[in-house]
Homo-oligomer: A and B are copies of this chain.
Amino acid sequence: LEVRVVAQISSQKPSPDPDRGALYGDGFFTTGLIESGLVCHLDKHLERLLNSAQRLEFTKFTVAPIQDKLVELSRTNGQAVFRVTVSRSQYQRGYAIAHEQSTDVVIHLYPWVAPPPKPCEVFFAQTPISLNTKLAGLKHLNRLDNVLAATECQLPDAEAIMCHNDWVFCGSRSNLFMRESNQWLTPALNEAGIAGITRSRLIDSAKRHGIEIRECQISRRQFERAQAAFVTNSLWGMRPISKIENKPLDIAQSCELKALLSFER
């Protein structure tokens, strides 16, 4: 264990300012794909970043340089997974956001991954999801609940469903959809969870095909009795669920919807 010391007790202002992403998780991110030399759904990623910046009071933020860099990277890296991380730095110590703030952006590039060929087996995570109406929906950097829930997944094709008390919100790294009384539902995310780009694209695509997907509160018992269910994220696309807590679930209706919408990830 190496211990690094950063002293700020000299009278000189340190440079650069401390990054509050590492101090408080004060920031946000988005993860997506570069395929065939194009950034998939670039507009949605930029929109998400802009919305996150506004809700988290980032006053020194613009998307143009991020757009430029992603497009540039997509030309030299035909296939890749990218992550854009935006965090706040400031000189002033303590939690409060200073008037004098600056913004750090890091783009990580990772090897491209194929969507998993198998359906997903889900179970209820022991780790609850954090409830906070001011943070709900955002892909912010406070993700310890996802970290602990995802760590509960021992099998490669498993996904942990995150709940708070009796309410179901999402998977540890995915959004959730289920079918009940021949109607597709997805958990409302006013109190917890991340409003995924694939989630909103799927809802829009279904709407264009005349299928309404209703956002509402969903209880554990409701979810356990689903006629069909699937999870979504940028890397998996739309992925049917074949088991809920060891109870087999028919994937046919999820596959039919996927085919009807020709929903690529």
**CB neighbours of A134 from chain B (8 A):** 126-128, 145, 148
A67 to B107, CA, bound (A): 35
Give the total of A residues in contact with B, Cβ under 8 Å.
74
Q: Kindly state whether residue A249 has any CB partner on chain B within 8 Å.
A: no
Q: Which residues of A contact B (CB under 8 A)?
A: 1-9, 18-26, 29, 56-57, 60-62, 65-66, 69, 73, 77, 80-81, 85, 87, 93-97, 103-112, 126-135, 140-151, 153, 164, 172-173
Most chain B CB within a 10 A radius of its CB, from A8, A29, A103, A126:
A8
Instruction: Please judge, given known A-B contacts A6-B106, A69-B3, A107-B4, whether A132 and B130 are in contact too, CB under 8 Å.
Output: yes
Chain B nearest CB from A30 CB (Å) reads 13
Query: Among the listed B106, B110, B149, which residue makes an inter-chain contact with A4, where contact means beta carbons less than 8 Å apart?
Result: B106
* Contact A96–B130 (Cβ < 8 Å): no
* Contact A19–B22 (Cβ < 8 Å): yes
* Contact A24–B132 (Cβ < 8 Å): no
* Contact A105–B151 (Cβ < 8 Å): no
**CB neighbours of A135 from chain B (8 A):** 130, 144-145
Q: Chain A interface secondary structure, helix, strand, loop or mixed? A: mixed
**CB neighbours of A57 from chain B (8 A):** 148, 151
**CB neighbours of A24 from chain B (8 A):** 25, 141-144, 146-147
* Contact A96–B150 (Cβ < 8 Å): yes
Which residue in chain B gives the minimum CB-CB distance to A93? Answer: B110
A94 to B133, CA, bound (A): 25
* Contact A95–B1 (Cβ < 8 Å): no
Q: Which 5 residue pairs of A and B lie closest in terms of their CB atoms, listed nearest first? A: A25-B25, A142-B142, A95-B150, A24-B143, A96-B150
**CB neighbours of A140 from chain B (8 A):** 144
**CB neighbours of A29 from chain B (8 A):** 23
* Contact B127–A2 (Cβ < 8 Å): no
**CB neighbours of A172 from chain B (8 A):** 95
A177 to B73, CA, bound (A): 54
* Contact A7–B144 (Cβ < 8 Å): no
**CB neighbours of A150 from chain B (8 A):** 94-96
Sample of 10 A–B contacts (CB below 8 Å): A1-B62, A3-B65, A20-B147, A22-B87, A24-B25, A24-B143, A26-B147, A57-B151, A95-B149, A96-B151
